[in-house]
Amino acid sequence: MSRPAQQQIFRHLTNHIVHWFCLVACGLGFTNRLAAQTWTNANFTASQRADALLAAMTQAEKMAMVSGAGGAYIGNIPGNKRLGIPALGFQDGPGGAGDWNTGVTAFPAPICIAASWDEALMRQYGTYIGEEERGKGGQVLLGPTMNMARAYQNGRNFESYGEDPYLSFVMAAAHVQGIQSQGVIATAKHFVCNDEETDRWLVSADADERTRQEIYYPPFRAAVDAGVGAIMASYNRVNGRSACESEALNATVKKLWGYDGFIMSDWDAYFSTVGAANNGLDMDMYNNAFGSMPATSLRPILMAWCSAS
């Protein structure tokens, strides 16, 4: 693969990540600690501020924002003190602030809330979860889960909303709106057809386009329409190809639906560097596939970071 082609791929890739770092940093007030710069000036548009910040970043600084690193949370993207970009802490999960947190609420499982068919209740549920997540210092909540309960053996069916695509569509939007009302980025996961845990890194979920559009895609489309900040691509293969390098990431999610947030991989998912970058994956969480290639576009995260100020 030629160097210009690599640069073109990663210009697109890093644009999406920078857009959402704008949302987080401005929302947390990091820019108030810096000398006046174009990207700290709320009189400029988010797009102008993101472009200015991107222009000020070195190649190494850009590359640091497309791959997971070590840190206090289950997932971490390092901050940049020189430019005032905060670190991002990613934390589970769909039913509340999880991982190793203490002093948190044991909320009902999402499928229980969905069974009420009460959209307002789901929005309130998401609001409380987002509030608690922010109180624990996280910026990105790794939820909600919105996979279909198509296999009763799946041990994680309780995380989502059941087997009805319409119910999942309605609940996904309300859940996302509630979480993000608290200044926390919600993550729609796991895209797509991730309906069993057994051999999840290897299994191929084979479904034609109509089936995906009518059953599996609706909650993710609802999340995009609700303004979800992040999407997580799943471990499994879809029709024989890793979901993290599926053509649907670009063709369906970004182009057809108009999604302008960022798409991350699930943790240690299997995918190829070029295939994933070409097809719309923006952030590599612990596969290290993006660490060896040039990252030259981070604009969308920076735009959203600026939009919040």
DSSP secondary structure letters along 70-100: -SSSSEEE--BTTTTBPPEEEE--TTSS-TT
User: CA-CA distance, 10 to 12, in Å (whole number)?
Assistant: 5
Q: Are residues 267 and 305 in the same domain?
A: no
Question: In which residue are the tokens 């960022």 written?
Answer: 262
Which of these is catalytic: 51, 92, 195, 266? 266
Nearest to 219 by CA among 199, 245, 195: 195
Instruction: Looking at mean pLDDT, say which of 11-25, 60-74, 124-138, 274-288 comes out highest.
Output: 124-138
Q: In which element (H, E) is residue 263 found?
A: strand 262-265
Nearest to 308 by CA among 89, 15, 20, 17: 20
For residue 289, give Cα distances in angstroms to 140, 247, 292, 309. Answer: 22, 18, 7, 33
N-terminal to C-terminal alpha carbon distance within the chain: 40
Nearest to 170 by CA among 209, 225, 210: 225
pLDDT in tens, 3-62: 554 555 455 556 556 655 655 555 544 444 555 777 888 888 877 887 888 888 888 888
pLDDT at 305: 46
Decide if 76 is inside a domain. no
Tally of domains in the chain = 2
- Write down the pTM of the prediction: 0.86
Mean pLDDT (the chain, rounded): 84
Nearest to 172 by CA among 147, 142, 139: 147
Decide if 125 is inside a domain. yes
Q: Are residues 256 and 299 in the same domain?
A: no
266 is an active site residue: yes
User: CA-CA distance, 13 to 86, in Å (whole number)?
Assistant: 19
Decide if 81 is inside a domain. no
Decide if 283 is inside a domain. yes
What range defines the domain where residue 165 resides? 90-290
